[in-house]
């Protein structure tokens, strides 16, 4: 198993947890849990593979990704009541999944020889779109669009860190670790200390 495959499996597992936790907050049945977990787990990677025109979307080439997401959904279905605050658990699971998925998405694009801007965008897309789909289906404001939150910006900076490390020919493990660590640190800082970007504020028209 390649390092990129390990990252894909890891992101699928953690994103599936966040999707299943969202399903628990919406009080869905077991099928709803599985659907939302799978949608969140493979949404970003599917978009990445379609845009990069890969030979096969990763979970179609290896259906075990879907099976794993469904097993995770079933596990959360029977244990979600043990979480003291499911929204907090969801946010932290999403932060971990974001950091892993950005590494996986950027790594795939880099391996395919894509230019730097595409590598960065594929990292952002892989990290953000599964959660975006989850939040839209659950009728929630997507985390990626919440005012000032470090989310897509954290993903972008993480992907850029991977690009910088690859430019200096660091080992792939270091590149992925740097990308994931920076993405997670920025996202965690936003959750704990309220790190944010400046937001637009309208001004009264001049008389």
What's the pLDDT tens digit per position in 34-91? 999 999 999 999 999 999 999 899 999 999 999 999 999 999 999 998 887 999 999 9
Nearest 10 degrees: CA dihedral of 130, 68, 8, 19? 20
| Mean pLDDT, the chain, integer | 94
**Looking at residue 205, what is its pLDDT?**
76
pLDDT band at 119 (very low <50, low <70, confident <90, very high): very high
Distance CA 72, CA 68 (A): 6
- In tens, the pLDDT along 146-155 reads 888 899 999 9
pLDDT of 1 > 70? The answer is: no
- pLDDT value of residue 207: 61
- Given a cut of 80, whether residue 115 has pLDDT beyond it is yes
pLDDT tens digits for range 133-178:
999 999 999 988 888 889 999 999 999 999 999 999 999 999 999 9
Domain borders along the chain are: 3-193
Average pLDDT, integer, range 117-135: 96
């Amino acid at each position: 198993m390649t390092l990129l495959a390990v990252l894909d499996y890891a992101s699928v597992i953690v994103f599936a947890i966040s999707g299943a936790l969202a399903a628990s907050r919406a009080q869905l049945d077991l099928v709803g849990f599985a659907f939302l977990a799978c949608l969140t787990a493979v949404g970003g990677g599917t978009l990445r593979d379609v845009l990069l025109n890969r030979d096969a979307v990763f979970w179609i080439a290896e259906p075990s990704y879907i099976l794993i997401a469904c097993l995770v959904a079933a596990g959360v279905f029977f244990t979600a009541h043990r979480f003291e605050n499911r929204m907090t658990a969801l946010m932290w699971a999403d932060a971990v999944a974001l950091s892993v998925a950005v590494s996986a998405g950027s790594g795939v694009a880099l391996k395919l020889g894509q230019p730097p801007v595409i590598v960065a965008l594929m990292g952002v897309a892989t990290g953000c779109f599964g959660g975006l789909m989850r939040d839209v289906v659950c009728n929630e404001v997507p985390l990626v669009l919440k005012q000032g939150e470090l989310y897509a910006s954290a993903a972008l900076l993480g992907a850029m860190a991977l690009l910088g490390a690859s430019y200096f020919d660091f080992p792939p493990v270091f590149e992925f670790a740097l990308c994931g660590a920076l993405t997670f640190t920025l996202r965690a800082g936003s959750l704990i200390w309220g790190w944010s970007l400046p937001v637009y504020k309208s001004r009264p028209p001049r008389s």
